[in-house]
Amino acid sequence: MAGKSARLREHLLALLRDGLAPHDRLPPERSLAEEFGLSRLTVRRVLDELEQEGLVYRVRGSGTFAGEPRIAKSVELTSFTEDMRARGLRPGSSPVTRELVPAGADVGYALRLSPSEEVLRLTRVRTADGEPMCLERTHLPAALVPGGLDLDGSLYEELARRYDIVPRRAEQTINATVLGPDDAEALQVAAFSPAFLVRRTAYDDRGRPVERAESLYRGDRYAYHLTIYRT
């Protein structure tokens, strides 16, 4: 029995990987039960598992459908643009707002500035193939980017190109959170949808803090992937 349900799981995983596009319907429970010699209840348990893993979703009375693929976020120090390009998606930012504001206590502490020193605050809705994925609030010491930044594209590319600044190391924390109504609207999801809150302080070669960012990644579209070793 366990062997047969494991075979069904493998079969469905292969189908989700290679055979089905997001929102395609999976074969009905009845035909899976017949094909794999399993009871409907066992088929349902296998589908329950896939649903809990976010790989499929159910619509009452219609069946089971392939979910949206999640974008596995690696823990290397990468930019949003690099993450999306690596997955064959077109990165974008819309809308983008930029303001010069006093750092305040928290951002100032992270960037080693006094609270009254100016920072450039960028607020960007980051998109992949036009779809909102992440809401990002980034702060940079204004003194580091004297001419401002032209930000249709990648912040990291622009920092390297115009100011020769390359973030080399970052301290990053990831928290589970829910999106408040405004942030949810910006990401075009329902209010109080789950999200990852990623806080990053990035440092350049010389150990100077160059960025303090808070990014809200949609919980339904992201997974954090780690390769871990035991020595």
> With binding defined as CB under 6 A, does residue 213 bind ligand GLP?
yes
Query: Which window, 24-32, 73-81, 142-150, 179-187, contacts ligand GLP (CB under 6 A)?
Result: 73-81
Tokens for 31, please give them: 């035909």
Find the binder of ligand GLP among 103, 165, 187, 200 (CB under 6 A): 200
- Kindly state the smallest distance separating residue 154's Cβ from ligand GLP, in Å: 3
> With binding defined as CB under 6 A, does residue 80 bind ligand GLP?
yes
What's the rounded Cα separation, in Å, for the pair 106 and 50?
41
- Using the minimum distance from each CB to ligand GLP, give the nearer residue, 26 or 213: 213
Sequence-separated (6 or more) residues with CB below 8 Å from residue 146: none
- Kindly state the smallest distance separating residue 230's Cβ from ligand GLP, in Å: 28
> With binding defined as CB under 6 A, does residue 154 bind ligand GLP?
yes
Q: Count CB neighbours of 55 within 10 A.
A: 18
> With binding defined as CB under 6 A, does residue 127 bind ligand GLP?
no
Find the binder of ligand GLP among 198, 204, 216, 219 (CB under 6 A): 198
**Positive or negative: CA dihedral 44, 48, 54, 57:** positive
Residue type, 104: G
Alpha carbon separation from 175 to 3, 195, 196, 217 (Å, rounded): 37, 8, 6, 10
> With binding defined as CB under 6 A, does residue 136 bind ligand GLP?
yes
106 three-state secondary structure: helix
Q: Which residues bind ligand GLP (CB under 6 A)?
A: 79-81, 91, 136, 138, 154-157, 198, 200, 211, 213, 215
